[in-house]
Chains A and B, each alone.
Chain A
C-alpha cells in the first residue's frame, strides 16, 4: 500500500497535502464511533505534507515513506503534543522532546496524523482500560480491537492511517493486529530505540510497526531500527532495508510447530491455524514438530517480572515534576483542603486519583514481589525460569529457522467479556508473551478468518451467533534473535500466496 501511494505521489496523481486531508476527513467521519485517536497532530501533519510537496515540485527525489500518513501510540513522545499513555496522571503532559523513533520518522519525511488510544500505560489486552474510553474494533463495533496498542491497530484497519507504531511488552502489537486483521511486528529486543517511549517493563518493552501488509511493516521498520546513544539497551546492529528480503521464497526454511499449542486450540482458531500450516507446506517450507518444555511457565514468569519492573518504572509519576498533582483534583469527599497536603500526601493522592485500577494493581503486585523477604522467591526465581525458557528456544532454533503459533487463542471478544477477572484478560497473551520473555522478533499476520458461528463452539462458550460474520484471526511467526529478515520473508510469502 505504501509503494502504491508513493507512486501516486511521484506521478503527481495526488499531493501529500491532499493525501493527509483525505485521511483527516475520514478520521472526522469515522473516529467518533471508533475512538481510536486521542489527539490529532494536524498542524504537524500539514506542515510535513507541504514540505514533501515542495520537494516533489522542485524535482527532488523522495523517500519511500515520505508523505505517507501514519499514527503513533500515545505512549511515544511527539514534541509539542499531548502524550498521555491513556492515563489521567498524564492528562496535561505536553512532550518536551521527540522520541528517537519520531525523530527518525520526521527525518524520513513520514506524515504524523495523531496519537492513538491504548490501555492505560499499555496495561491491558482490549483498550477497555484507557482512561479516555475504549476503542472499538472497526471489523465489528461490538468487539474490542485488542490491546494495548488497540488504537494503532484500529486506525490501520479502518484506513484512518496507512501505518502506525505500537509498543509490545507481552503481545500489545501482535494481539490487536490479529483482532483487527492487520500485520503487527514486535522486533527483537533492542532492535528499535525506546528513548521517548514511556517505559512499562524495561526488560520486555519494544516499539514496532503495524500496517496492512508485511511489506509496509518492513518499510517502517527499516526507518525506525538501529542503535541509539540515548537508549543503552539498543542493539549495535545497524538498520537494514528489510524490503530487500521479501522474495516470496520459503522452500529453504524449516518452520517449527509446538505440539502442545496445536493440541490446545479449539474451534475456528484451530481450523484457521491448521490451514496456515498447510499453506506453508504447500509453499515448500519444511514443517517440524518442536518442543518448548518450559514455555508453559511464560505467563507466570511474565506476571512476576513485568509488575516488578512496572512498580519501579511508574514510581516517577508522583505529581511533583509533571503530570497531575492531587491539588488539581477536585474531590468533594476529601475532609481536608487539598492545598494543605504535605509531600507524602501529595504522592499518595496524586497516584490515587491519577492511576486507574490496572496500573495500581500491577504496581502493588510488583512492590509486594520486590519487598523485603520475597525477592528470591519471586523475581529471582522468575529470572532463572526465564533462562530455562531461553534455552528451550536456543535448542529449537538449532533445528528450525522460525516458530509458527496462533497469535491468540480465539478472535476478538466482546466488550466487558473479560473485565471482571484480571487473570482471564492476562490469558489473552498466552501465545505472544514468550517472544518478549526470550527477546526474539515476532510478527502477527492475518490468517484465514473465523466465522463467529464456528467460534461459538470453542472454549469461548456461551456466545451463539448465526450471522455468519467472519472475524480476523492472526497467526504468529517467531524468528531467531535479530533475524527479522527470515521472519518478514516467511510472513510475506504467506501473504502474497493466501486465498482467504
Chain B
C-alpha cells in the first residue's frame, strides 16, 4: 500500500500539485495497479538481458551538422510569458 505521504513525495518529484482528494485517489489507484503488476515477480529472469531497443537497432550516426529552424517567430509566439524575444521565467527562489 502506497501511503499518502509517499504519494505526496512522488507528486513532488513529478512536479504535479495535487489536491487532498487527489492524493487519496492516487494512493488507492497506484496501490492497486502495483498489486496487479506484481505478478512479474514470478518470472525467472536469471541471465536474461533487458531489451534496450526492440528491433535491435544500434548507434545511429549522422553528420554533426546544424539545421536552421526557420519558423522562429512561431516558437517565440508560444511563450506563455515574454519580454521582447525572450521567454520570461518566474523567480527561481
| Chain A residues at the B interface, C-beta cutoff of 8 Å | 79-80, 93-94, 96-97, 188-190, 203, 229, 232-233, 235, 294, 297, 300-301, 303-304, 311, 315, 318-325, 327-328, 341-349, 351-352, 355, 357, 360-361, 363-365, 367-368, 371, 378, 380-388, 390, 422-423, 437-439, 481-482
Contacts and interface: CB of A to CB of B under 8 A. Distances in A.
Given A360-B26, A364-B26, A381-B40, A347 B78 contact: no
Contact of B74 (A94, A188, A301, A355): A94
B6 to A, nearest CB: 8
A96 B32 contact: no
Contacts of A320: 80, 87, 89
Given A297-B39, A321-B78, A325-B80, A371 B89 contact: no
A425 to B, nearest CB: 11
A423 B17 CA distance: 24
Interface of B: 2, 6-7, 10-11, 13-19, 22, 25-26, 29-30, 32-34, 36-41, 43, 45, 48-55, 57, 60, 62, 69, 71, 74-75, 77-81, 87, 89-93
Contact of A300 (B7, B39, B89): B39
Given A96-B71, A346-B90, A360-B22, A324 B17 contact: no
B28 to A, nearest CB: 10
A46 to B, nearest CB: 22
Given A319-B80, A342-B90, A385-B40, 17 more contacts: A96-B78, A189-B55, A232-B60, A294-B43, A303-B37, A315-B14, A342-B92, A342-B93, A343-B92, A352-B19, A364-B16, A378-B37, A384-B48, A385-B43, A388-B43, A390-B51, A439-B54
A323 B43 contact: no
Contacts of B80: 319-325, 327-328
Contacts of A96: 71, 74-75, 78
B41 to A, nearest CB: 8
A229 B60 CA distance: 10
B83 to A, nearest CB: 14
19 contacts: A97-B71, A203-B54, A233-B53, A303-B37, A320-B80, A321-B80, A322-B75, A323-B78, A325-B81, A342-B92, A343-B89, A351-B16, A361-B29, A363-B16, A364-B26, A367-B14, A382-B40, A385-B45, A386-B51
B54 A365 contact: no
Between A97, A355, A364, A423, the greatest number of chain B beta carbons within 10 A of the residue's beta carbon is seen for A364
B73 to A, nearest CB: 9
A343 B90 contact: yes
Nearest to A231: B60
Given A300-B36, A321-B87, A371-B10, A360 B48 contact: no
Contacts of B25: 357
A318 B22 CA distance: 19
Contact of A203 (B53, B74, B89): B53
B51 A304 contact: no
A229 B17 contact: no
B78 A322 contact: yes
A233 B10 CA distance: 30
Contacts of A349: 17
A380 B50 contact: yes
B51 A387 contact: yes
A301 B40 contact: yes
A387 B45 CA distance: 9
Contacts of B79: 321-322
B15 A351 contact: yes
Nearest to B2: A368
A78 to B, nearest CB: 13
Contacts of A384: 43, 45, 48-51
Contacts of A319: 80
Contacts of A482: 55
B40 A423 contact: no
Given A321-B87, A325-B80, A347-B15, A387 B50 contact: yes
B55 A352 contact: no
B32 A423 contact: yes
B93 to A, nearest CB: 7
Which 5 residue pairs spanning A and B have beta carbons closest together? Answer: A383-B50, A439-B54, A352-B17, A348-B17, A96-B74
Nearest to A79: B71
A482 B54 CA distance: 12
A364 B7 contact: yes
A477 B9 CA distance: 43
Contacts of A80: 74
Nearest to B63: A229
B51 to A, nearest CB: 4
A327 B80 CA distance: 9
B75 to A, nearest CB: 5
